Structure 1
Amino acid sequence: MICTRLGIGAALAAGTLAAGLALAPGAAAVVPQTATIVADCGLYGGGEATLTATQSGTAATVTVSSSEITAPLALAEDSITSTLTLVKAGGGTTAFTGTENPAMAAGDGVTVGPLTGTVAAGDSLEAFGGSLQMVLFGITVTCTADGPQSPGPFVFE
């Protein structure tokens, strides 16, 4: 009887621990998950933009959004072809591409992404020195960061 109780108690304890671990928040695969830059888009303006990164293994996404960089015209959902090029700390670049964007009215803040790319463990990627190219209605708009992103580069696990 005592052995049965110990066995049941141990099983319950193990089950509770497993459930707790399953419900616990996972560690972030990329740090930081968000960063800000001040972007210059030439004749098309500029301003502060937020970059939000996620990672699942070697697949990563970055979404760029800004309330200060605005749509010149109304834009349909998924109508902007975007390429975000980030600079690697050790040299080279990594590109994130896609055609994802919400519908936007003229004057709305611009959001593109999630843009997809491939990363390796330990990659440290920075927007400063890279660019965001958006093609809308056949016109390419290129934005560059005026300085390093804050709080720092994206570091992928």
Structure 2
Amino acid sequence: MRGSRPLIGTALAAGALAAGALVFAPAAAAVTPGTAQAGYDCGSWGGGAATLAATQNGTSATITITSAVTTPIAVARDTINATLTLAKAGGGTVKFTGRKNPALPAGGAVRIGPLTGTVTSGASLNSFFAGPALTMNVLGFPVNCDAVTSQTPGPFVYS
């Protein structure tokens, strides 16, 4: 029985360390809702509903956009420069930028992202209406899209 006392002490110490690590571990960040839809008008490029999928890791956030806008010709991977601007509740904007897209076939829906941006805890982001909300450069052609609806089911809220 004497040999088991050091093992009990070691087990208790290991348990205390594990519990302490959990207390000091950063909380998992989450954005809600994870996806939203909003309407965009991209002029001669078309328009319609776009699906925005959001993720968060601390203050770093990403948004991937799948839009109703189609490309008239095939577009190679990672050739669309894009900026999505979202309005921040209480004033200001947050921009998500990047040059990420899968290869797109002629006539295929434009998919962009993940676009990256920086968010603060508690930030509530929704469609931006005071100018182009989404700007893209596709094969040297500028495409400006205006938001025509707010996001549904609601704004992205970051924890």
Q: Give the TM-score taking structure 2 as reference length.
A: 0.80
1:36-75 equivalences in 2 (<5 Å): 36-66=37-67, 68-75=68-75
The answer to whether 1:110 aligns with 2:107 is no
CA RMSD of aligned residues (A): 2.6
1:133 equivalent in structure 2: 135
Q: Which runs of 5+ in 2 are unaligned?
A: none
2:71 equivalent to 1:31 = no
Q: Moved runs in structure 1, 4+ residues, more than 6 A?
A: none
The residue number in structure 2 matching 1:156 is 158
| Residues 75, 139 of structure 2: 8 Å contact kept | no
Other-structure match for 1:96: 96
SS of residue matched to 1:43: helix
| CA distance in structure 2 between the partners assigned to 1:108 and 1:143 by the alignment | 17
Aligned partner of 1:97: which letter?
T
Which whole-Å CA distance do the structure 2 matches of 1:28 and 1:65 have between them?
Answer: 23
Checking the alignment, whether the CA contact within 8 Å between 1:131 and 1:144 is kept in structure 2 is yes
Answer yes or no: is the 8 Å Cα contact 1:32–1:153 preserved in 2: yes
Identity of counterpart residues, as a percentage? 55
Aligned positions, number: 147
| CA offsets 1:36-61 (integer angstroms, 9 cap, x no match) | 11211111111111101111111111
State the AA in 1 paired with 2:56. Answer: Q
Query: Is contact 2:29-2:158 (8 Å) kept?
Result: no
Question: TM-score, normalised on structure 1?
Answer: 0.81
In structure 1, runs of 5+ residues without a counterpart are none
CA distance in 2 between counterparts of 1:61 and 1:125 reads 13
